[in-house]
């Protein structure tokens, strides 16, 4: 597993390593004893106990067997999966296609009531038009050499947008002005997308802010991210998808969102920027 830039993922790995070390001590074993029972080098058990190397599921099974604690095997493997899931590279997330990656997020969307989204790359998926989504996912499919299930993936994303109209959910979207000035799919697709942004901003449960391009900004653009209630942040990086649950880290993203929100324009000023972008495309 690649090293994650998130302390949430690191803390999850450390917690697992601590539990494995405790099992070893409770069994009256040293790291060297355990390595011998498992047929490993002495350094391997040390690396696992110090969270320098993540164990595999087979490593955990061997560890629990060596410690006489087979009843804890499945629980520890579940903890491993949780830690692994905090950082997922795109190839792993999309290995079964883009449709599955889209559907996997639906339960999170359904249980969330307050959404905050910041984007410096693309229009957030929740407020994309179908042609814009198709252009974005087609570009991803071609660039990453994935199976071509783009049509199904687009349908899954459109279905996920239903949460905009259900329940008492609230949505706050921030986009950099560059997102509306340069896009994908060509002029016709972008004009339709920008018109959709204006329509979505009129909804009572939606706030849309545009962060203007300026030469004197004190808070520069950052990677795109979503905040779900106050419980979880997802960050889309070039190399993969990061899940953050550590409260201190979630708070850092919430603070960043608030700072960027203060730079944004809303209402008539945002519509003016979007309309100007549409006029330039026309």
Neighbouring residues of 162: CB distance < 8 A, sequence distance ≥ 6: none
Under DSSP, the state recorded for 72 is G
DSSP string, 78-113: HHHHHHHHTEEEHHHHTTT-HHHHHHHTHHHHHH-S
How far is the C-alpha of 244 from the C-alpha of 230, rounded, in Å? Answer: 11
In a structure prediction context, what are the per-residue pLDDT tens digits for the chain, which is 282 residues long? Answer: 333 445 667 777 888 999 999 999 999 999 999 999 999 998 999 999 998 888 998 999 999 999 999 999 988 887 787 777 687 778 778 888 899 989 988 999 999 999 999 999 999 999 999 999 999 999 999 988 888 999 999 999 999 999 999 999 999 999 999 999 998 999 999 999 999 999 999 999 999 999 999 999 989 999 999 999 998 999 988 878 888 887 888 899 999 999 999 999 999 999 999 999 999 998
Over the Cα atoms of the chain, what is R_g?
23
How far is CA 34 from each of CA 44, 51, 60, 136, 176, rounded to the nearest angstrom? 10, 16, 12, 50, 54
Q: How many helices (H) and strands (E) does the chain have?
A: 14, 7
Single pTM value for the model: 0.77
């Amino acid at each position: 597993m690649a090293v994650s830039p998130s302390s949430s993922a690191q803390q999850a790995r450390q917690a697992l390593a601590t539990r494995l070390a405790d099992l070893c001590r409770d069994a009256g074993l040293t790291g060297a004893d355990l390595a011998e029972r498992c047929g490993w080098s002495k350094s391997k058990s040390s690396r696992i106990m110090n969270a320098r190397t993540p164990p595999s599921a087979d490593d955990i099974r061997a560890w629990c067997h060596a410690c006489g604690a087979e009843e804890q095997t499945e629980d520890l493997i579940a903890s491993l999966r949780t830690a692994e899931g905090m950082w997922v590279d795109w190839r792993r997330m999309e290995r079964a296609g883009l449709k599955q990656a889209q559907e996997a997020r639906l339960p999170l969307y359904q249980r969330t009531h307050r959404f905050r989204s910041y984007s410096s790359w693309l229009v957030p998926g929740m407020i994309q038009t179908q042609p814009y989504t198709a252009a974005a996912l087609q570009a991803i499919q071609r660039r990453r050499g994935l199976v071509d299930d783009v049509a199904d993936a687009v349908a899954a994303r459109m279905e996920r947008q239903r949460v905009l109209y259900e329940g008492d959910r609230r949505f706050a979207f921030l986009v950099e002005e560059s997102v509306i000035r340069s896009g994908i799919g060509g002029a016709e697709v972008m004009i339709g997308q920008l018109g959709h942004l204006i329509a979505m901003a009129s909804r009572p449960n939606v706030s849309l802010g545009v962060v203007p391009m300026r030469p004197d900004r004190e808070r520069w653009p950052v990677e795109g991210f979503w905040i779900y209630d106050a419980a979880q942040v997802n960050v889309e990086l070039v190399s993969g998808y990061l899940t953050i649950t550590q409260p201190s880290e979630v708070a850092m993203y919430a603070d960043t969102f608030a700072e960027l929100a203060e730079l944004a324009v809303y209402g008539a000023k945002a519509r003016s920027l979007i309309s100007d972008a549409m006029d330039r495309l026309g």
